[in-house]
Amino acid sequence: MPTAPAPEPWSDTWREARLHVVTGKGGTGKTTVAAAMATALAESGRRVLLAEVEQRQSLAPVLGCSPLDDHERLVQVTPAGGELHALAVDARASLMEYLRVHYHLGPAGAVLDQVGAVDLATSIAPGLGDVLVMGKLYEATRRTPRHQRRRGTPESYDVVVVDAPPTGRVVRFLQANAEVADLARVGPIKAQADAVTAVVHSDQTVVHLVTVLEEMPVTETVEAVGELRGAGLRTGLLVVNQVRDDGLAEDDLDAFHAAVDGDVDVAAIAEELRALQVPEPDDTARRLLAHARGHAERLLVEGEQQEVLDAVGLPTVLLPTLEGIGPRTLPRLAAALASQVGALV
Ligand SMILES: Nc1ncnc2c1ncn2[C@@H]1O[C@H](COP(=O)(O)OP(=O)(O)OP(=O)(O)O)[C@@H](O)[C@H]1O
Ligand SMILES: [Mg+2]
């Protein structure tokens, strides 16, 4: 018997969304956050497909499973009856599937692959890879629910979560089909590109942004929000990742600010250290102060960057810095995400 589901991470905000796209500047935590989001959704009882699209095998270590390939694989069943499936989308495999479905080119498609036509096609038109990958994700969101599907047809999902390309490339990635739709006048390619474009621009798709509280990632995030909005794509959460808990009270912060401003009496600290019989009190006092100053400056930068982010006006969640990301720690991030998203609405 399934137990009670974990908190519903989306409530009404994104009830319609089937495709959750997670982007951010490189290295800020896209893969980690996509995995946490997919886990949270599965724990609330959903059937979830988590997909990576860059052929980097980033998800497997986070999920604690063997390397993913272009076959969807069940990774986890949750107590609430949810399921987490994972996949590494491969443009080549998607093209073969596309030819099979739309042109009934089963064996002929394989021949094309053997003679290098698939590599040729994707190298001549670099955007083609994006078109195919988006097509695959679109297809995964459109399947008939499990209770209705015929034997042998693929699994259906409530939601698809994508570990997407970084902010600098995400709009092109999502818009790749719109470009094709403009180029192709008629035929199955046009119909498919139109259908994908319609879903990407509908309430069924939402783009979440991951950042850390540093200047470059925050600047990129703000730019990406502008680009996404300009392209008519729906933005979702702003996930501030790797937040450090300093355990500092207000009074401590005042002391830190004094350190930055140079208002601290090093000689007095050295005197106290000497009284405590700390070795090399003058040197230790100077090093302590330098450490405090570095820390204080970081806190100031983080505060400034948080203000820049606040001005963007996206619903924001903060995720803590954990010691290592993997299958043991992922549920903690998932729980932090779910409880904060639940509280947003
Ligand atoms: N909340 C966190 N706490 C601790 N470590 C984290 C956290 N989030 C991410 N990391 C670590 O930071 C590094 C980058 O995270 P991740 O791989 O998820 O980023 P990414 O944006 O997907 O990177 P890339 O651009 O290379 O794909 C990894 O080593 C990951 O384990
Ligand atoms: Mg990644």
What pLDDT was estimated at residue 33? 98
Q: Could you tell which of 62, 241, 325, 340 is best to mutate to test the pocket of ligand 1, judged by most ligand atoms within 8 Å of the CB?
A: 325
Q: Where are the beta strands (DSSP E) in the chain?
A: 19-24, 47-52, 73-77, 83-88, 159-163, 205-211, 235-243, 316-320
How close is the Cα of 29 to the center of ligand 2, in Å? 7
Q: Which atom of ligand 1 is nearest to the CA of 323?
A: 4
How close is the Cα of 10 to the center of ligand 1, in Å? 23
Phi, psi of 150, deg, nearest 5: -80, 160
Beta carbons within 10 angstroms of residue 147's beta carbon? 6
CATH class for the domain made up of 19-244+321-344: alpha beta
Separation between Cα atoms, residue 299 and residue 231, nearest integer Å: 34
What pLDDT was estimated at residue 223? 97
**Residue 269: its H or E element:** helix 266-275
How close is the Cα of 242 to the center of ligand 1, in Å? 9
How close is the Cα of 212 to the center of ligand 2, in Å? 14
Any residues with Cβ below 6 Å from ligand 1, and which?
24, 26-32, 58, 166, 241-242, 319, 321-322, 325, 333
Q: Which atom of ligand 1 is nearest to the CA of 56?
A: 27
What pLDDT was estimated at residue 144? 77
In the predicted model, residues of the chain with pLDDT beneath 70 are 1-13, 102-126, 146-149, 152, 247, 249-250, 345
How close is the Cα of 69 to the center of ligand 2, in Å? 16
Query: Ligand 1: which residue has its CA nearest to atom 12?
Result: 29
**DSSP letter string over 189-223?**
HHHHHHHHHHHHTSTTEEEEEEE-SSHHHHHHHHH
Evaluated on CA atoms 69, 73, 75, 78, the torsion sign reads: positive
Q: Could you tell which of 32, 220, 243 is best to mutate to test the pocket of ligand 1, judged by most ligand atoms within 8 Å of the CB?
A: 32
What pLDDT was estimated at residue 256? 72
pLDDT tens, position by position, 70-109: 999 999 999 999 999 999 998 777 777 777 776 666 666 6
The residue to which tokens 């519903």 are assigned: 8
Query: Ligand 1: which residue has its CA nearest to atom 16?
Result: 29
What pLDDT was estimated at residue 254? 76
DSSP 148: G
Separation between Cα atoms, residue 270 and residue 278, nearest integer Å: 9
- Both tokens assigned to 144: 């008939």
Separation between Cα atoms, residue 190 and residue 187, nearest integer Å: 5
Residue of 35, 7, 46, 88 whose CA lies nearest to 239: 35
What pLDDT was estimated at residue 249? 65
User: Residue-wise over 177-211: b if at least 16 C-beta within 10 A, else e?
Assistant: bbebbeeeeeeebeebbebbbebbbeebbbbbbbb
CA of 245, nearest ligand number = 1
How close is the Cα of 144 to the center of ligand 2, in Å? 30
What pLDDT was estimated at residue 87? 96
CA angle 325, 174, 163 (to 5 degrees): 10
CA of 319, nearest ligand number = 1
pLDDT tens, position by position, 112-162: 666 666 665 665 566 778 888 998 999 999 987 766 667 767 789 999 999
Q: Which atom of ligand 1 is nearest to the CA of 34?
A: 18
Q: Which atom of ligand 1 is nearest to the CA of 243?
A: 1
Where in the sequence of the chain do the CATH 3.40.50.300 domains occur?
19-244+321-344
